[in-house]
Structures are given as structure tokens and as C-alpha cells.
Amino acid sequence: MWGELESIGRHAGSGGYRRFAWTGADTDCRAWFRAQAEARGLTLELDRNGNQWAWLGDPAAGDAVVTGSHLDSVPDGGAFDGPLGVVSSFAALDELRGRNARFTKPLAIVNFGDEEGARFGLACVGSRLTAGELTVEQAHRLTDADGITLPQAMEAAGHDPDAIGADPERLGRIGAFVELHVEQGRALDLTGDRVGVASAIWPHGRWRFDFRGEANHAGTTRLMDRRDPMLSYAETVLAARREAQLAGAVATFGKISVEPNGVNAIPSLVRGWLDSRAADQATLDTVVHGIEKAAREYADAHGIHLDVVRESFTPVVEFEHALRDEIARLLGKEDGGKSAHLNVPVLGTGAGHDAGILSGSIPTAMLFVRNPTGVSHSPAEYAAEDDCVAGVTALADVLEGLACK
Ligand code: GLV
Ligand code: MN
Ligand code: MN
């Protein structure tokens, strides 16, 4: 499976993946998913929001056990964030068939569309729409950097944008969703464990800061006469670091656009996107307010007009305890289940996931596979083959425990 995915959307220069929603690379990933489903005799469904489902058993029977993740990527992403969950799901099904497992519940493997939000700026569009966390009107307003709207991009890729919307009936058929993911930190490396279970996802959001000044000549405009929005932006980036450090949170300006973007012109507009996350809502609010306050002070001092727009927000997610504990018990089986809770590390994370979005509608849980460097959202993202295999075995144990009892 990895061999087939390896070249899809890979940039020759960076070695990273550029698998953005509703592009050619995304279409190729979807074709791969379809082929995997067909090779296993699974029934493929494309839902109204463009998520792919591969079913074993009758979806209408209800109380289904669902696993999977996403195949899209951030700009120059790694191989594992998303695909590890999908590949491991197919491999876990193969493992269960090898064990002659008898399924008593329907099982599905899912590929959620547009998890990273790299193209339209909002993460988890496929699962948010399905869960009713994103309205059709909001989705129709999403636009990429070239001015192409989400409906236009969907249509160009052959998907009907008028069909999108909440899908409570589909979610109502699911008893549990378990997403396996590469860890995006080093907690498992530090404890020496191959696999862990998720406890919670930090609240997180994205804010757009528009600093508007005055375009002018870089050679002839005296420093005292300038209204340069880049200065206010730069000072805001430093303020973000300070506020995050003070609060024990994180804050990142990782994307910027500049107009007119000429080397010999003072900019008229600097647009920077803030991503900030913290362990709790109050801390996150404090950090973001602190950054915005500093930005306004700097902007006022330099004659800059500032607009701040919250583009997305995901509240804290506490994964359902009953499912999490059941999974910890299933993974402790080799010890007779006695010390299960001690054997499986339970980790929080600052990364967003479809499992977090769906947790408001259905019981969800996550498994993490060790990442020896913790690096993610980068071509350097890595998980060792042995650890990936341990992840597949763990996922198979969990699915067997949930769907074959
Ligand atoms: C998704 O990976 C996110 O946490 O931004
Ligand atoms: Mn990611
Ligand atoms: Mn991911």
C-alpha cells in the first residue's frame, strides 16, 4: 500500500506531499482508496460531503464500528499524517481476516475529505459538514488562494456541491469511530511505548490578521513618512511568541501574504494567519486576546489599520471515557487484562483530528503510533516499520474487541 501511495502528490523538490482537497493528487488518493476497497470486496460509498466509506457488512444494520483517517496533506506534509490511519485500517482488516474473525457488527473504513484545510483554510471540512458543525452557507463561502470557491472545486472534481450538508442518519448508524494516527510529539518515544491512546485534544483555532498601510517606493520614502504594515506584523509575531510562552500555550504565524509583494515596494497589506492552541479555553482566550491587544497597539503607533477575523475554532475534546477504557482494556489483553491501564499510555494532543470533530456526535477514540522525532507536518515525519506493524496489531485487537464480540 505504501508503495502505491508514495508518489501521489509528492513534490520532487521538497520531497513533501501536496495533496490538497479536490485537486488531481486528491483524486489519485481517492482512486487508490477505491481500489483497496474493491480488492477486499468492500462496498464503496461516497457520501454527500465527499467522504469515502468502505463497508464490510450492511451499513443499515446500525451500531457500526468505523476506523480510518484522511489522505490529504498540509503543504509539503509527511507521508504518515492521515495515510497511516487509512493504510493501518486496511491492514488491520487483512489481519482480522487472517485470524478468521467473525464480525457481529458492520465495519467501515473511512477516508475523510479535506482534513488539513490546506486549500480552503478550514480544517476537517468533510467531517464538520457531516456532523453539522459547518453550515452549507459557510462551506459555500470557502475560497482558495486563487479565488476558487469550495463548490467550484468540488464540481471540477466531479462532486455535486449542492448535495453537501449535515448527515445525521449516517452518523446515527455508527456505534464507535476509532482513528489511528502517527503521534505528533515525542511522548511515546520518551516512555518507550509503540502505541498510545488519546485522552483529549486541546482547543485550537485560526485567526487572520490584516494589517493595511500604504504602498510606496522602497528607495525614496523616508522612514518617518512610511506606513509600513510589515513592521506591525513583525512585532505581532514576536508578541505571539511571548504570550504563548507566558501561558504555556502555542501560537504560530505560519502563513503570510503580502501585497503588492514587490521587493522594492513598501507593502500596502500584510495578511498573517495565527494558529493558536492551549490546554484549556481560558488560557487560549488569554493568549489570543494578548496577541490582538499587542497587534492593535503596534498598528496604532504606525498608522496601520488592523482587522482580526477568527476563521475557525474547535473547542476542547475529551474523548469518551467508556470507549477509551474499553480500548485500553483490549490492548492490555496479553497481560490477561489485569494491568491494562498501566500498559497503555494515555496522551493528550495539540493536533486536530476528524475524531475530535465527530466526538460531539458519536463515541470516538484515537490510537497513536510512536514518532521517534515528534516531527510532523514536514517531509521529515517518520514512524518505524515495527511501530507501524504494532499499530496495525493494536487496531486489529481493538476492532476485533468492538466488532466481533
Ligand atoms: C491538523 O493536523 C492540525 O492539527 O492542524
Ligand atoms: Mn495534520
Ligand atoms: Mn492528521
For residue 333, the domain's CATH number is 3.40.630.10
Contact of 357 with 397, CB cutoff 8 Å:
no
CA neighbours closer than 13 Å in the CB half-sphere of residue 67: 29
Q: Is the CB of 116 under 6 A from ligand 1?
A: yes
Residue 351 alpha carbon, nearest atom of ligand 1: 4
137 and 239 co-located in one domain = no
Q: Is residue 349 helix, strand or coil?
A: strand
Residue type, 334: E
Mean pLDDT value across residues 350-363:
98
When mean pLDDT is compared across 111-115, 230-234, 257-261, 340-344, the lowest value belongs to 340-344
250 and 342 co-located in one domain = no
Contact of 107 with 176, CB cutoff 8 Å:
no
Domain range holding 31? Answer: 2-202+316-403
Average pLDDT, the chain: 96
- Residue 340: the pLDDT is 45
307 and 321 co-located in one domain = no
- Residue 405: the pLDDT is 77
248 and 366 co-located in one domain = no
Bridge partner list, 77: 17
- Residue 343: the pLDDT is 74
73 and 143 co-located in one domain = yes
- Mutation probe of ligand 1 site: the residue of 17, 122, 284, 377 with most atoms within 8 A of C-beta: 377
250 and 263 co-located in one domain = yes
Strands 305-314 and 204-212: antiparallel
226 and 373 co-located in one domain = no
212 and 353 co-located in one domain = no
Q: Is 192 exposed, middle or buried (0-12, 13-18, 19+ CB in 10 A)?
A: exposed
Q: Whose CA is nearest to atom 1 of ligand 1?
A: 352
* Nearby residues of 52 by Cβ (< 8 Å), 6 or more positions away: 30, 33, 34, 37, 44, 45, 46, 110, 111, 113
At residue 365, does pLDDT exceed 70?
yes
353 is in an annotated binding site: no
Q: Is the CB of 352 under 6 A from ligand 1?
A: yes
Q: Is the CB of 78 under 6 A from ligand 1?
A: no
- Residue 332: the pLDDT is 82
At residue 341, does pLDDT exceed 60?
no
Mean pLDDT value across residues 20-35:
98
293 CA from centroid of ligand 3 (Å) = 32
134 CA from centroid of ligand 2 (Å) = 19
Whole-prediction pTM: 0.94
Domain count along the chain:
2
244 and 166 co-located in one domain = no
At 242, phi and psi to the nearest 5?
-65, -50
Whether cis (ω within 30° of 0) applies to the bond prior to 260 is yes
223 and 195 co-located in one domain = no
At residue 298, does pLDDT exceed 70?
yes
39 and 67 co-located in one domain = yes
- Residue 333: the pLDDT is 58
d(CA 388, CA 403): 22
Confidence bin at 102 (pLDDT 50/70/90) = very high
Task: Among 266, 289, 314, identify where a domain stops.
Answer: 314
Q: Is the CB of 123 under 6 A from ligand 1?
A: yes
Of 247, 310, 321, 246, the C-alpha closest to 280 is 247
- Residue 335: the pLDDT is 53
Residues with beta carbon < 5 A to ion ligand 2? 81
- Residue 276: the pLDDT is 98
CATH number at residue 303: 3.30.70.360
DSSP letter, residue 373? S
At residue 185, does pLDDT exceed 70?
yes
Q: Could you give the angle at the alpha carbon of 72 between the alpha carbons of 71 and 75, nearest 5°?
A: 140
Residue type, 54: A
Mean pLDDT value across residues 83-91:
99
Task: Among 314, 349, 370, identify where a domain stops.
Answer: 314
186 and 326 co-located in one domain = yes
Q: What is the CA radius of gyration of the chain?
A: 23
Task: Among 289, 314, 339, identify where a domain stops.
Answer: 314
